[in-house]
């Protein structure tokens, strides 16, 4: 099982836990009828999040396939492999945001969670940026014993990928708001938009600038994540308990 597969499973597990907890908080013990209703609600809210997590597993191979067609395809693929492994580690704190937001109660707590999400995203993006430039990149190259060409590709990929952490943290917050409002269907369409945009930017970018495959791959992943998060913003602003 790959690192990316484990990440998708972690996202789905965290989300179903949040949905289940939210359902228990709002259910009333009235016998087996409530249990049946709770089960239907659980899967109705959870399935769109599963679709989103599953589709995002296909996002990396789509970008990798485009990067493989760049001028230095082998180096680009190596950079994507290393960069995605780093991204999964750095984005791990963001995975806990959705359950926290989905089960929160009160406007004050919601505002605190919004600020926390922004902070987590900014820290993650700064960490990726720090690893893309010296002295962070020097230490990273020594850790993986990278040759100069691959090291440059990794730095370029992380540079384009740096904004991704912020977008992911905001996306996780907004997913929590959708679960809290019991309206997760928009996740499906937002995910489809993200995959389409990420793939289009990666393939068109490599076709136009074949010498910058790793940078284009990182930028495509970041842009896709930002567009998905942006597509959820109206849902947040229309929530009756917005921060």
Place of tokens 């949905």: 19
Q: What is the pLDDT of residue 10?
A: 47
Q: What is the pLDDT of residue 14?
A: 54
pTM of the model: 0.81
- Cβ–Cβ under 8 Å, residues 175 and 49: yes
Q: What is the pLDDT of residue 15?
A: 55
pLDDT tens digit string along 46-102? 888 888 888 878 899 999 999 999 999 999 999 999 999 999 999 999 988 998 898
| Domain residue ranges in the chain | 3-237
Average the pLDDT over 222-229 and give the result: 94
**Phi and psi, residue 221, nearest 5°:** -65, -40
Q: What is the pLDDT of residue 234?
A: 60
pLDDT tens digit string along 117-139? 999 999 999 999 999 999 999 99
Q: What is the pLDDT of residue 16?
A: 52
Q: Does the pLDDT at position 140 exceed 90? A: yes
């Amino acid at each position: 099982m790959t690192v990316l597969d484990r990440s998708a499973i972690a996202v789905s597990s965290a989300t179903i836990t949040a949905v289940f907890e939210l359902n228990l908080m709002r259910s009333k013990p009235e016998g087996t009828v409530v249990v049946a209703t709770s089960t239907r609600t659980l899967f109705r809210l959870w399935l769109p999040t599963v679709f989103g997590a599953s589709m995002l597993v296909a996002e990396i191979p789509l970008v990798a396939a485009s990067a493989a067609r760049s001028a230095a395809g082998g180096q680009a693929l190596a950079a994507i492999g290393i960069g995605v492994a780093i991204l999964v580690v750095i984005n791990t704190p963001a995975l806990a945001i959705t359950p926290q937001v989905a089960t929160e109660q009160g406007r004050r707590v919601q505002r605190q969670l919004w600020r926390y999400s922004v902070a987590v995203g900014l820290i993650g993006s700064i960490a990726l940026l720090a690893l893309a430039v010296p002295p962070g990149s020097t230490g990273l190259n020594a850790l993986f014993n990278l040759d100069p060409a691959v090291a440059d590709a990794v730095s370029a990929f992380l540079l384009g990928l740096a904004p991704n952490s912020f977008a992911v943290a905001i996306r996780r917050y907004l997913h929590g708001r959708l679960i809290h409002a019991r309206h997760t269907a928009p996740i499906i369409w937002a995910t489809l938009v993200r995959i389409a945009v990420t793939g289009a930017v990666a393939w068109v970018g490599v076709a136009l600038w074949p010498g910058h495959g790793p940078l284009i791959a990182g930028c495509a992943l970041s842009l896709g994540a930002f567009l998905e998060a942006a597509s959820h913003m109206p849902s947040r602003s229309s929530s009756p308990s917005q921060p």
